[in-house]
């Protein structure tokens, strides 16, 4: 069994639209999503009544005690489909983690199978009032009872433990992570809709940022925002008749079953083993090799994910990501370096959850990146942790 | 509004754990088929695959080694907001290779290093509930862990 994805190159992105990214937008998330979806449909040269598929992942990714309200704190595919004026044949939502690759896979599979011809894929992210992950639980039932009474809860400590494990195991300097965050903010500062537009960061500013859960600083975390992005996907044949150059989906991989652990416990060995499995499936699905990818967009919702993706994808040796970064290996302005955060990532745009990675692949490979245009042919959009997420490979020409 | 520290709600899968903790004993779920420990217990045994693991809680010494740690300065669990900063340790228990547990690191010195030996201790949070935590062990604790098996049952 080769694992090669037979739908590779048969589906393409035909258009997109993106809202402003702000701490709080002045209209409801639902209203903005309808507006952005209509703009994306128009961008693709289509009309709303032509859209016959809607996909998303509607997860409101908070560990806090916030209400989930459709149209306010999240927007489901059904909610949007009901308001676009279409008669969809296919409406689906990805339920797992690695929301953007999971949603792309739903859209690609539906189009390749003929279940839908024109699919709107959206992601709507909301910043609730109060602390994003603040949780006021006073009792812990079910899985939480094994960790919350002990004081372990929320993603700050979740990522701090494997990151510290990495620092200890490879004797890495925590100050090296400044290069990751500064790189993300440098690129995000060049993107007009980014929360961090025109606001690059210095190494000194990074190093004076407060610790949240050592060695995780505030600036190692993407900032919660309101923001919406929408893409329109269709078959490669149909896309070639539309206004913009298509960007083809070569294949995708989602991380597989992972070892059961305490809630939110991600030992470094789990991340690496599961991540290497994800990467192996991705290369098998696409026929690509790490050296074929000239636009790898790594997930950076927490900065240590950049190290973990670099190593699990085979873009540098295991245990060497911190040296690769400190040697200038991810500087998007340096010839020969890997532009892994050229789209600004989550740290440079705001908590848009895998959208910046997908959007950078689309903009660069379709030739729509404007002043930021690069000569790229194969992009990779990663999301979440390598062992608990996924990745999609995009190409300028169908593979 | 003051939010209090979250307290466990014991259930069919955990009652033996919390009952032992109240006696300041760490008792972990052990598969009746393959005798592997599993934390947390599940509907199946992840080691031998049986879907009738009939987990029983058996006392272990509660020794282990520090695999990682973090100083929590921003508590997402609001019930711990008045306790920051506090240390959490990620411990590999000597009861079984790869068996990991997370708890607070209590006592002095509060300066963990990789592979430091630790011992489970318990915080009595009210009359009925004690929460496992860890403390650093100055000297290397002789032999490894030998599950005694005399705390079986729940």
pLDDT 10s digits, B34-91: 999 999 999 999 999 999 999 999 999 999 999 999 999 999 999 999 999 999 999 9
Q: How confident is the model at residue B140 (pLDDT cuts 50, 70, 90)?
A: low
Which of A128, A150, A212 is the best mutation test for B, with the most CBs of B within 10 A? A150
Q: Are B58 and B30 in contact (CB under 8 A)?
A: yes
Average pLDDT, stretch A310-339? 98
Say if residue A280's pLDDT is above 60. Answer: yes
Cα torsion B44, B47, B53, B59 to 10°: value is -120
Chain B residues close to A154, C-beta within 8 Å: 75-77
Chain B nearest C-alpha distance from A264 (Å): 11
Which of A149, A170, A212 is the best mutation test for B, with the most CBs of B within 10 A? A149
* The pLDDT of residue A254: 94
Nearest-by-Cβ selection for A157 from B7, B88, B129: B88
**Cα–Cα distance list, A104 to A39, A49, A100, A252 (Å):** 19, 21, 6, 8
* The pLDDT of residue B149: 38
Chain B nearest C-alpha distance from A99 (Å): 23
Tell me which of A91-100, A314-323, B62-71 is least confident. A91-100
Chain A residues close to B114, C-beta within 8 Å: 168-169
Chain A residues close to B68, C-beta within 8 Å: 161-162, 164-165, 168, 267-268
Rounded to whole angstroms, how far apart are CA atoms A182 and A193? Answer: 18
* End-to-end Cα, chain B, rounded Å: 37
Place of tokens 């935590």: B133
Say if residue A219's pLDDT is above 90. Answer: yes
Rounded to whole angstroms, how far apart are CA atoms A156 and A43? Answer: 38
Contacts of B40 (CB under 8 A, 6+ apart): A143, A146, A260, A262, B13, B14, B29
Average pLDDT, stretch B6-22? 97
Neighbours of B126 (CB within 10 A): 8
Nearest-by-Cβ selection for A165 from B6, B67, B131: B67
* The pLDDT of residue B151: 36
Q: How confident is the model at residue B154 (pLDDT cuts 50, 70, 90)?
A: very low
By CB neighbour count within 10 A (0-12 exposed, 13-18 middle, 19+ buried), where does B133 fall? Answer: buried
Chain B nearest C-alpha distance from A139 (Å): 4
Chain A residues close to B46, C-beta within 8 Å: 259-260
Q: Is B145 on the interface with A (CB under 8 A)?
A: no
* The pLDDT of residue A85: 87
Q: For the segment A347-398, what is each residue's pLDDT rounded down to a tens digit?
A: 999 999 999 999 999 999 999 999 999 999 999 999 999 999 999 999 999 9
* The pLDDT of residue A262: 95
Q: Do B6 and A210 touch (CB under 8 A)?
A: no
* The pLDDT of residue B147: 43
Q: Which residue from A minimizes the CA distance to B83?
A: A151
Rounded to whole angstroms, how far apart are CA atoms A134 and B146? Answer: 40
Place of tokens 């509907």: B43
Average pLDDT, stretch A41-69? 93
Rounded to whole angstroms, how far apart are CA atoms B58 and B67? Answer: 23
**Chains A–B, number of C-beta pairs less than 8 Å apart:** 139
Nearest-by-Cβ selection for B7 from A149, A213, A268: A149
Cα torsion A171, A176, A180, A186 to 10°: value is 180
Chain B nearest C-alpha distance from A161 (Å): 6
Average pLDDT, stretch A131-135? 91
Say if residue B109's pLDDT is above 80. Answer: no
Q: Is B78 on the interface with A (CB under 8 A)?
A: yes
Q: Do B6 and A144 touch (CB under 8 A)?
A: yes
Residue bearing the bigger pLDDT, B149 or A115: A115
Average pLDDT, stretch B130-150? 68
Q: For the segment A149-206, what is each residue's pLDDT rounded down to a tens digit?
A: 999 999 999 999 999 999 999 999 999 999 999 999 999 999 999 999 999 999 999 9
**Cα–Cα distance list, A360 to A187, A304, B121, B143 (Å):** 11, 20, 50, 55
Say if residue B152's pLDDT is above 60. Answer: no
Say if residue B153's pLDDT is above 50. Answer: no
- Report how many helices (DSSP H) and strands (DSSP E) chain A contains, helices first: 12, 12
Q: Which domains does chain A have, with CATH numbers?
A: 11-129+223-395 (3.40.47.10)
Q: Which residue from A minimizes the CA distance to B66?
A: A165
Say if residue B22's pLDDT is above 90. Answer: yes
Average pLDDT, stretch A110-120? 98
* The pLDDT of residue B1: 62
Max mean pLDDT range (A120-134, A255-269, A310-324): A310-324
Say if residue B143's pLDDT is above 80. Answer: no
* ipTM of this complex prediction, to 2 decimal places: 0.94
Q: Is B47 on the interface with A (CB under 8 A)?
A: no
What is the overall mean pLDDT for chain A?
96
Rounded to whole angstroms, how far apart are CA atoms B119 and B95? Answer: 12
Q: Which residue from B minimizes the CA distance to A160?
A: B70
Q: How confident is the model at residue B108 (pLDDT cuts 50, 70, 90)?
A: confident
Say if residue B150's pLDDT is above 80. Answer: no
* The pLDDT of residue A399: 85
């Amino acid at each position: 069994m080769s694992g090669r994805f037979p739908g590779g190159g048969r589906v393409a992105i035909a258009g997109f639209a993106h809202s402003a990214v702000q701490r709080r937008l002045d209209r409801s998330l639902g209203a903005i999503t309808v507006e952005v979806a209509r703009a994306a449909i128009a961008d693709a040269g289509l009309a709303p009544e032509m859209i016959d598929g809607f996909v998303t992942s509607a997860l409101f990714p908070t560990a806090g005690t916030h209400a989930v309200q459709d149209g306010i704190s999240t927007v489901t595919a059904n909610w949007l489909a009901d308001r676009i004026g279409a008669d969809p044949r296919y409406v689906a939502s990805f339920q797992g983690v690695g929301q953007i690759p999971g949603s792309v896979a739903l859209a690609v599979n539906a189009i390749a199978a003929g279940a839908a011809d024109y699919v709107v894929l959206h992601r709507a992210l909301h910043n609730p009032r109060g602390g994003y992950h603040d949780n006021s639980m006073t009792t812990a039932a079910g899985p939480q009872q094994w960790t919350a009474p002990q004081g372990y809860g929320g993603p700050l400590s979740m990522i701090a433990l494997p990151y510290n494990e990495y620092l200890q195991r490879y004797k890495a300097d925590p100050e090296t992570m400044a290069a990751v965050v500064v790189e993300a903010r440098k690129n995000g500062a060049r993107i007009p809709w980014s929360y961090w537009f025109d606001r690059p960061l210095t190494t000194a500013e990074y190093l004076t940022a407060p610790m949240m859960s050592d060695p995780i600083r505030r600036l190692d975390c993407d900032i919660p925002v309101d923001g919406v992005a929408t893409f329109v996907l269709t078959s490669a044949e149909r896309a070639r008749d539309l206004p913009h150059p298509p960007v083809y989906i070569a294949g995708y991989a989602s991380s597989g079953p992972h070892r059961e652990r305490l809630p939110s416990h991600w030992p470094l060995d789990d991340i690496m083993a599961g991540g290497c499995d994800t990467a192996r499936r991705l290369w098998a699905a696409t026929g690509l090799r790490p050296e074929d990818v000239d636009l790898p967009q790594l997930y950076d919702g927490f900065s240590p994910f950049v190290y973990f993706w670099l190593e699990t994808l085979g873009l540098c040796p295991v245990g060497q990501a911190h040296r690769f970064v400190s040697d200038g290996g991810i500087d998007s302005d340096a010839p020969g370096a890997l532009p892994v955060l050229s789209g600004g990532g989550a740290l440079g745009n705001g908590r848009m959850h895998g959208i910046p990675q997908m959007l950078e692949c689309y903009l660069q490979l379709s030739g729509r990146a404007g002043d930021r245009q690069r000569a790229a042919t194969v992009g990779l959009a990663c999301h979440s942790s390598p062992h608990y997420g996924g990745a999609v490979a995009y190409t300028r020409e169908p593979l | 509004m003051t939010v209090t520290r979250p307290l466990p709600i014991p259930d069919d899968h955990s009652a033996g754990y919390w009952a032992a903790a109240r006696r300041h004993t760490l008792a972990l779920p052990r598969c009746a088929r393959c005798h592997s420990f599993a934390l947390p217990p599940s509907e199946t045994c992840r080691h031998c695959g049986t879907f009738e693991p009939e987990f029983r809680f058996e006392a272990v010494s509660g020794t282990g080694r520090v695999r990682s740690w973090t100083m929590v300065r921003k508590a997402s669990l609001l019930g711990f907001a008045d306790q920051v900063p506090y240390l959490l340790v990620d411990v590999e228990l000597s009861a079984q290779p790869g068996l990991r547990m997370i708890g607070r690191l209590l006592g002095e010195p509060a300066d963990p290093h990789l592979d430091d030996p630790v011992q489970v201790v318990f915080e009595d949070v009210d009359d009925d509930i004690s929460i496992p935590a860890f403390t650093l062990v100055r000297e290397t604790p002789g032999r490894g862990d030998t599950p005694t098996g005399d705390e079986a049952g729940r």
